[in-house]
């Protein structure tokens, strides 16, 4: 089986943790590294969280790179739980994992250039603000030649926002970076709130994470500590696992339905960070994104819980997962 080479660009974050653990447990994916950006919390904490997630996974072969500490232009904003900072050591410890000396932006540039040379393009999984990706494109526009696609969790259309009434957080945190990426010409597969709100993880499903050893228990503790349910808005119990949909699409794209369209980002004024999708071709622009509009909820949640449960299984070499 040929494995898909990916970089995960992230701002961990609870659902980022689920996405990273899911990716690191999936034999279909070759995770070249994890590039980290400020977002849900400040950079020093997102980096610590990324290192803790890697340690939980037991995948000490996967490097972590620290990237942009703030957005390109706008004033810094953080996620809903920014005051929490790094994950509690009692939930996840960092072990001996340390970030690399090379910056996340340089890592993306180097990896994309190597992909051009090898003829095997990489996939970028963008599950945080797009600052690192935009900086790589600004510094070396030719890196786009080494990137097969950007699979991103971001944007909100009819669902509206969750960080503001009009904006999804990843785009809102750095709309100028989002604008650069959407105009880059790189194929984009987008997981907006409109779709991620369709798949809600319930308390009973969270319980199944505990079958995944130390990693699964930590994920259960994180989801329990940071309640993501919003029945008043979503109409039922359970919370979305936004970022994990990116990894699920890479593994089983048949779980999703989408629509090719042009997506733009508002970068000025009161509604800065608003994303719009021209589903009915009113602007007569060439589509720049495949926007996911539907998800097989049961299939997605089964895939997620199955991969996390794998951390409690025995490796092929006979060693126990942490």
Count CB atoms within 10 A of the CB of residue 235.
9
For the chain, the first-to-last Cα distance in angstroms comes to: 25
CB atoms within 10 A of CB 139: 12
In sequence order, which ranges of 124-279 are alpha helices (DSSP H)?
Answer: 131-139, 169-173, 175-182, 193-196, 203-207, 213-225, 231-234, 244-251
Decide: helix, strand or coil at residue 280: coil
DSSP label of 11 = -
Beta bridge partners of 158: none
Identified catalytic residue from 140, 242, 285, 315: 242
User: What phi and psi, each to the nearest 5 degrees, are found at residue 7?
Assistant: -120, 135
What angle do helix axes 131-139 and 175-182 make, rounded to 10 degrees? Answer: 50
The verdict on whether 242 is a catalytic residue reads yes
β-strands 4-10, 122-126: how paired? parallel
Q: What angle do CA 3, 188, 259 make, to 5 degrees?
A: 110
Active site residues: 242
């Amino acid at each position: 089986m040929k494995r898909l080479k990916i970089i995960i660009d992230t701002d961990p974050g609870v659902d980022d943790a689920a996405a990273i653990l899911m990716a690191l447990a999936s034999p279909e994916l070759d995770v070249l590294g994890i590039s980290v950006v400020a977002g849900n919390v400040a950079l020093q904490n997102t980096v610590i969280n990324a290192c803790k997630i890697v340690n939980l996974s037991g995948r000490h072969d996967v490097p972590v790179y620290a990237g942009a500490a703030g957005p390109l232009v706008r004033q810094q904003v953080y996620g809903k739980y920014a005051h929490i900072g790094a994950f509690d050591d009692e939930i996840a410890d960092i072990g001996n994992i340390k970030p690399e000396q090379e910056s996340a932006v340089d890592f993306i540039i180097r990896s994309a250039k190597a992909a051009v040379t090898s003829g095997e393009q990489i996939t970028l999984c963008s599950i945080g603000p797009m600052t690192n990706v935009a900086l790589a494109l600004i510094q070396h526009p030719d890196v786009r030649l080494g990137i097969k696609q950007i699979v991103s969790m971001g944007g909100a259309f009819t669902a509206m926002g969750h960080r503001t009434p009009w904006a999804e957080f990843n785009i809102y945190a750095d709309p100028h970076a989002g604008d650069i990426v959407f105009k880059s010409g790189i194929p984009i597969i987008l997981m907006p709130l409109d779709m991620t709100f369709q798949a809600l993880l319930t308390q009973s499903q969270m319980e199944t994470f505990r079958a995944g050893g130390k990693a699964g228990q930590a994920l259960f503790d994180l989801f329990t500590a940071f309640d993501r349910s919003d029945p008043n808005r979503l109409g039922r119990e359970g919370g979305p696992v936004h970022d994990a949909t990116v990894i699920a699409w890479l593994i089983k794209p048949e779980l999703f339905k989408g629509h090719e369209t042009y997506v733009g980002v508002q970068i000025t004024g009161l509604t800065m960070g608003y994303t719009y999708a021209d589903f009915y071709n009113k602007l007569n622009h060439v589509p720049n994104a495949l926007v996911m509009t539907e998800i097989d909820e049961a299939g997605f949640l089964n895939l997620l819980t199955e991969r996390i449960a794998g951390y409690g299984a025995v490796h092929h070499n006979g060693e126990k997962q942490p």
